[in-house]
Amino acid sequence: MKKKSNIIITGVTGFVGSNLFEYFLDANIEITASNLRNLNWKSEINTEASAIIHLAGKAHDLKNSSNPEEYFKINTKLTQELFDFFLASNCRDFIFFSSVKAVTDKSEAVVSEEIVPTPKTAYGQSKQLAEQYILNKTLPKGKRVFIIRPSMIHGPGNKGNLNLLYQLVRKGIPWPLGAFQNQRSFCSIDNVCYVIHQILGREDIPSGVYNLADDETVSTNELIEIIGATTNKKVRILSISKKIINTIATIGDVFHLPLNTERLDKLTENFVVSNTKIKAALGIEKLPVSAKEGLTKTIKSFN
């Protein structure tokens, strides 16, 4: 990437945005932060910048307490306005951070870029509508557009759901769901920064939709073991009958217990995301950080 590149990042105060900001600063690349909540944002964006990385948006509310209209106002409408601005500017690249949730909320099959989108939540639907708007526009010559669909991104400074499992292991509480064997995709923030840097620094990466995930999948049982090994805590994984666990979860729905069917599903479901397409575009066999390395780094930061 050329030293004089100027990159605009929306949502720079968020977890991914702040990490990309620091990453590009270390690479001696000029960064401009843009606040789309400011009514005058259009007059403040440099139309000569080399790229726009659009991260600003309303995150998925796991408690389902948000007004659905807020998702479409922020994730869809603002993205549409920013993309129209990009088309009229001299910026070369537009990178929109969507989500695998824009495709599906649950999937037993591997999630690839070819899967037909069927999002069920307002969050996923708002992201999908933004994707459709971008893909249906005619792209002027010399411009590129990348829609990035990451799996769950993690790293130092972002605890999220990983912190819940960390607290369980730290307190010596046995993991009772050992009978459930699942596989999940995660995405280290280091791999995110690497991929975005590669995209912007090369001319040979074509526009398109790209999934983003670590190379290896990790089961929840394996994740518990990684946390134990990283924290030097002995872990106990109990293989209690699935029938008993499912019964407890059903009771939890009625009496609002910590374990209910929704939480059980999230802890034990399969969600595997393919990263084959982005690696083929980059001409690499592996991303720089393995799933275990990335998770270990994140868990160490909890201390």
Joined tokens for residue 41: 């944002």
Q: How confident is the model at residue 164 (pLDDT cuts 50, 70, 90)?
A: confident
Closest CA to 54 of 29, 79, 21, 87: 79
What the block records as the tokens of 225 is: 């073991």
Average pLDDT, the chain: 93
Model pLDDT, residue 62 = 57
Nearest residue to 81 (alpha-carbon basis) of 45, 123, 31, 49: 45
Average pLDDT of span 75-90? 96
Q: Which domains does the chain have, with CATH numbers?
A: 6-150 (3.40.50.720)
Q: Which of 162, 148, 299, 151 is nearest to 215 (CA)?
A: 151
265-300: pLDDT as tens digits = 988 999 999 999 999 999 999 999 999 999 999 999
Is a pLDDT exceeding 90 seen at residue 47?
A: no
Q: DSSP 3-state assignment of 257?
A: coil
User: Model pTM?
Assistant: 0.93
